[in-house]
Amino acid sequence: MKELEIGVNGMNCGHCKMAVENELKDVAGVNNAEVSLEEKKVTVSLEDESLSVDKLYEAIEEAGFEPVK
């Protein structure tokens, strides 16, 4: 299993955390997603190591936030 850390701009509350985590968990190949509001990042555990990072960025954008690329 592979883990990625992605910075996310605009998160500041529990609702933000939940929105990003839920959107990422809906991506096929994602095992888990855990947001750190203090560090403004999300750690994503991947089942499928070949999953495109762009798909993760898209999910973060769908949640209404900006991934740090």
Domains of the chain, by residue range, sit at 2-68
pLDDT at 14: 96
Q: What are the residues whose beta carbons fall under 8 Å from the beta carbon of 56, sequence distance 6 or more?
A: 4, 6, 24, 27, 30, 44, 67
Domain 2-68: CATH architecture, name and number where available: 2-Layer Sandwich (3.30)
Q: Give bridge partners of residue 45 from the DSSP assignment.
A: 3, 32
pLDDT digits (tens, 9 = 90+) for 47-67: 988 899 999 999 999 999 999
Q: Count CA within 13 A, CB hemisphere, residue 49.
A: 3
For residues 45, 47, 51, 56, the Cα torsion angle rounded to the nearest 10 degrees is -30
- Looking at residue 5, what is its pLDDT? 97
Q: What is the pLDDT of residue 1?
A: 82
Whole-angstrom distance, CA of residue 41 vs CA of residue 48: 21
Tens digits of residue pLDDT in 1-50: 899 999 999 999 999 999 999 999 999 999 999 999 999 999 999 998 88
Helix (H) or strand (E) holding 57: helix 53-62
